[in-house]
Copies of this chain bind each other. A is one copy, B any other.
């Protein structure tokens, strides 16, 4: 299984920390110290997870033949429409008849769950060229005045073409992939929530989310390396879920890897949910060299986690 191409879309409006200083009295230094976030993007009126899906696909079209896509998997926890899901919007745009189309959510860890769903369709021989779209419109459900988590969130989307067979020398091979739920832990169902009818996104137990993210991402990373018969010495980069720069640094520290191996965009984009890692992969795509190995590891509310090893 290969990642043949990836693209991303970011809304143009930039929201700096001073917005939250004005609203909530949180200083920019305090926000940066606690989260690493300097600014984030905010979707314009009329933009949503479905329009950002279309924008991400438009940017993928020059890089990949999407006319032969035979599976679409979308992911979001900030849906514009739960019936006309972003996967349906993508199919409508591409005009491909009667292929399997599904949207999923495991919160911020959905990118890897979406790719694992693709892996299943490939194993069944029900598909061989899958379009995966991750799109988050956090600001549609966020309360900017929430002093606990209002300043964390940003908007953005990414699209990936995943193929069963190698398409080009530049493809990333997916060497291994695992996902898991950690909802058995005590505060998993209350730590961070997104209830459309009850005020949107909230993080009553941020510390519990932080602790579990810092435990699960290194654990899953080591597990996927072991399954692939590799060690940390074989890893060029780690791309963790972009939730908080302190979590990312904690993950690198636990793994004993230097910060030069950390890929991060949270400083500029905030927490873009399940789109974060895919946006980062898209932003950095041209900088990777043949043979480079990246561990992408995610943790999301609910809780869920995952790790994927890819090699160029």
Stretch from A75-83, A166-174, A233-241 that touches the partner? A75-83
Residues of B contacting A79 in the complex (Cβ-Cβ under 8 angstroms): 82, 105, 196
Minimum C-beta distance from A30 to chain B (A): 25
Is residue A121 within 8 Å, beta carbon to beta carbon, of the partner chain?
A: yes
A184 in contact with B83 (CB, 8 Å): no
Minimum C-beta distance from A144 to chain B (A): 15
Interface residues of A in 297-312 (CB under 8 A from B): 300-304
Q: When chains A and B are docked, how far (Å) is the Cα of A78 from the Cα of B197?
A: 10
Q: Pick the contact of A82 from B95, B121, B196 — CB < 8 Å?
A: B196
Q: When chains A and B are docked, how far (Å) is the Cα of A102 from the Cα of B74?
A: 13
Is residue A208 within 8 Å, beta carbon to beta carbon, of the partner chain?
A: no
Residues of B contacting A265 in the complex (Cβ-Cβ under 8 angstroms): none
Minimum C-beta distance from A148 to chain B (A): 15
Number of copies: 2
Whether A189 touches B84, Cβ cut-off 8 Å, given contacts A123-B124, A196-B79, A197-B140, is yes
B92 in contact with A107 (CB, 8 Å): no
Residues of B contacting A300 in the complex (Cβ-Cβ under 8 angstroms): 83
Residues of B contacting A82 in the complex (Cβ-Cβ under 8 angstroms): 76-79, 105, 107, 194-196
Is residue A31 within 8 Å, beta carbon to beta carbon, of the partner chain?
A: no
Whether A302 touches B85, Cβ cut-off 8 Å, given contacts A120-B117, A120-B121, A189-B92, is yes
Q: When chains A and B are docked, how far (Å) is the Cα of A101 from the Cα of B99?
A: 24
Stretch from A59-67, A154-162, A175-183 that touches the partner? A175-183
Q: Which residue of B lies closest to A117 (CB)?
A: B117
B91 in contact with A102 (CB, 8 Å): no
B184 in contact with A97 (CB, 8 Å): yes
Q: Pick the contact of A120 from B120, B140, B141, B184 — CB < 8 Å?
A: B120
A interface size (C-beta, 8 A): 62
Q: Pick the contact of A201 from B83, B117, B303 — CB < 8 Å?
A: B83
A180 in contact with B98 (CB, 8 Å): yes
Is residue A106 within 8 Å, beta carbon to beta carbon, of the partner chain?
A: yes
Residues of B contacting A76 in the complex (Cβ-Cβ under 8 angstroms): 82
Minimum C-beta distance from A105 to chain B (A): 5
Is residue A128 within 8 Å, beta carbon to beta carbon, of the partner chain?
A: no
Other A-B pairs, 14, CB within 8 Å; known A81-B194, A101-B106, A117-B120: A72-B181, A82-B107, A82-B196, A83-B193, A83-B301, A84-B188, A84-B193, A97-B182, A97-B184, A100-B181, A101-B181, A102-B117, A105-B105, A120-B121
Chain A interface residues toward B at CB < 8 A:
72, 76-85, 87-89, 91-92, 94-107, 113, 116-117, 119-121, 123-124, 126, 140-141, 179-184, 188-190, 192-197, 201, 300-304
Give 4 nearest A-B pairs by CB, closest first: A120-B120, A101-B181, A196-B196, A88-B302
